[in-house]
């Protein structure tokens, strides 16, 4: 009797980007919520998602966080945390007027952009802000300065549509989670159109965004597919998908391993994997387990930078 026919599982190499996942600002924001729950007891209210990741939000809900979109949803006397994306000045002012205990989890690199906006307006310059309309970080930055002090541009074409008079004092700032390449093109267009425009001393796109994009550029050309773990409303995660595709490699954004369809990786021998700055490492491990099921898997780290930045906690929680 013939032995049953057996097939050898197909090999799969998974190239995992490093750095990936949580950045210092996200680590800090999550710790602020966790420590606030320890200090005040549950519930602690959080205005807007603390970071753009459902897994993280659900884990904090289980510990006693309640997420709301507006401050008027927070009961009197309850502690409230502002998200890592930043909020308009009017929000903490309103919280103070109500006598609420509030904690600001705004990423320090976003806060740096806020201070730059204030300084440029104080210097008499109108700000051209490069960012994505409606994103919480953009709304928070616009809310740092008087209405009418800033104009939003999203593309090079938007720059062509600007109508500032010659000689008008101008400055530009950017959202921290943009495509490095797209932003460079927009900045070049601004400088060509308005040679006197003033920019920040160092770029506003944060180190984590830049580093994760560089890591994808390094691994994508070696892959048949790149998976990016992140939320559909996460700007930095969406940019990683774009970066991979510009390298000529198909890419898909997923939130959890369960979203991966078998057909995606059937013919794939080398798979790229990364995670946006709001995605925890547990989700990376979950995806590796999923794609490795039934395959002979080799996991290789593609290291393009080392990150060791840590941001201080608010003074109320520093002890």
pLDDT at 153: 98
The active-site residue, picked from 70, 73, 137, 300, is 137
Q: In what order do the strands lie in the sheet with 225-229?
A: 251-254, 225-229, 270-275, 11-18, 296-303
pLDDT at 119: 97
pLDDT at 205: 87
> What is the topology classification, in CATH, of domain 108-193?
Cobalt-precorrin-4 Transmethylase; domain 1 (3.40.1010)
Q: Dump the DSSP string for 19-33.
A: S-S--HHHHHHHHHH
Q: Cα(53)–Cα(48) distance, rounded to whole angstroms? A: 12
pLDDT at 6: 47
pLDDT in tens, 189-225: 999 999 999 999 877 889 999 999 999 999 999 999 9
Q: Cα(156)–Cα(152) distance, rounded to whole angstroms? A: 12
pLDDT at 294: 87
pLDDT at 59: 96
Is residue 137 flagged as an active site residue? yes
Inter-CA distances, 43 with 39, 69, 208, Å: 11, 16, 31
Short-list 201, 256, 268, 225, CA closest to 12: 268
pLDDT in tens, 264-273: 998 899 999 9
> What is the topology classification, in CATH, of domain 11-22+207-303?
Cobalt-precorrin-4 Transmethylase; domain 1 (3.40.1010)
Domains 11-22+207-303 and 108-193 share a fold: yes
Contact 248, 223 (CB under 8 A): no
Domain parsing of the chain, residue ranges:
11-22+207-303, 24-107, 108-193
Kindly give the parts of the chain with pLDDT less than 50. Answer: 1, 3-6
As assigned by CATH, the class of the 24-107 domain is alpha beta
The structure's pTM equals 0.91
pLDDT at 5: 47
């Amino acid at each position: 009797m013939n032995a049953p026919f057996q097939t050898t599982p197909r090999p799969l190499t998974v190239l995992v980007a490093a750095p990936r996942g949580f950045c210092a600002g996200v680590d800090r924001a999550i710790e602020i919520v966790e420590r606030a729950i320890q200090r005040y007891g549950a519930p602690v209210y959080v205005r807007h998602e603390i970071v753009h990741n459902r897994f993280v939000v659900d884990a904090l809900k289980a510990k006693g966080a309640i997420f709301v979109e507006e401050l008027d949803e927070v009961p009197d006397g309850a502690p409230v945390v502002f998200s890592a994306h930043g909020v308009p000045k009017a929000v903490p002012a309103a919280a103070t007027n109500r006598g609420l205990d509030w904690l600001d989890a705004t990423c320090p690199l976003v806060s740096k952009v806020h201070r730059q906006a204030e300084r440029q307006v104080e210097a008499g310059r109108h700000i051209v802000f490069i960012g994505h309309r409606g994103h919480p970080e953009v709304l928070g930055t616009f809310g740092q300065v008087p209405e009418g002090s800033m104009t939003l541009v999203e593309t090079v074409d938007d720059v062509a549509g600007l109508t500032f008079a010659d000689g008008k004092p101008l400055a530009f700032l950017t959202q921290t989670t943009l495509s490095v390449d797209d932003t460079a093109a927009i900045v070049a267009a601004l400088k060509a159109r308005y040679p006197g425009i003033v920019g920040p001393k160092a770029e506003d796109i944060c180190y984590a965004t830049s580093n994760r994009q560089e890591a994808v550029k390094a691994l994508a050309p070696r892959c048949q597919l790149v998976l990016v773990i992140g939320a559909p409303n996460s700007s930095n995660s969406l940019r990683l998908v774009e970066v991979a595709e510009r390298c000529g490699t198909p890419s898909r954004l997923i939130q959890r391993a369960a979203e991966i369809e078998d057909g995606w990786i059937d013919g794939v021998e080398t798979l790229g994997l990364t995670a946006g700055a709001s995605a925890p490492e547990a989700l990376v491990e979950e995806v590796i387990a999923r794609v490795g099921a039934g395959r002979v898997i080799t996991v290789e780290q593609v290291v393009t930078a080392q990150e060791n930045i840590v941001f201080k906690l608010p003074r109320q929680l520093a002890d």
